[in-house]
Amino acid sequence: MLQIINSPKRVARMAGILYAAMSIQAPIALLYVPSHILVEGNAAATTKNILAHEFFFRLSIISQLFSVIIFAFLALLLYRLFEQVNQSRSRLLFSFVLVQVPITFIFETFNLTSLMIAKGEILQSLPPEQKQNLVMLLLNIHGYGLITSEIFWGLWLLPFAQLVYQSGFIPRIFGWCLFYGCLCWVIDSVTWLLFPAYSPFISQIVMKTGWIGEIPIMLWLIIKGVKSKIPFIEKG
């Protein structure tokens, strides 16, 4: 067995580092594109922005793909860390993360396809206006997909919160923080689906306070880690 697998402290700190890496990359796709590329209701301006910022648009796609891959490895480390606290909840945590990997790859193909259309690499016979409208449609589908995915962004935090609370080697307050993060993401998505008129208000609250859910546990794992004497089950 690798030493990292036998050392809970190293597993915890590696998980914290991956958590931080994911947190740094994700905003590039989630914040940069909406603020610098999308012009609501204006397909022509949006298409022009994509072409003017092609590198950063491609970077947002790569960032999102790398982010979800890092997310999967983070979930694997957290499973390893908490499996003896409650194996079924650890598996549930891992499952909620793993299901997001193919979903994210599918969503990013919409962004990539919109770029190919904007550059004229595909559907060359379409009139410019139709191309621009199609680009806008694909970007909107991508955005709608991200909002619905927020349910999974929240759900994985529920077993995580329970595991932290039960663990005995991480302060219970972080479990409550994670539970709050779970509520933030799920409520934001459900509000957008059921009560769209209130969505901007709820999203503002989530953007301003949602960090309370995950940043504390991320910093704890990096700086403090866990006790090295936590027993691990060796698996061949």
| CA 116 to chain centroid | 25
Q: Domain residues of the chain, as ranges?
A: 3-149+214-223
Quick: pLDDT tens for 88-118: 999 999 999 999 999 999 999 999 999 999 9
Is the model's pLDDT at 29 over the cut of 90? Answer: no
In sequence order, what are the residues at sequence separation of 6 or more whose Cβ sits closer than 8 angstroms to the Cβ of residue 50? 37, 57, 114, 115, 118, 135
pLDDT of residue 5: 54
For residue 207, what are the CA distances in angstroms to 52, 96, 180?
28, 22, 13
Beta strands in the chain (DSSP E): none
Residue 148 to residue 145: CA distance in whole angstroms: 5
pLDDT of residue 14: 93
Quick: pLDDT tens for 177-200: 999 999 999 999 999 999 999 999
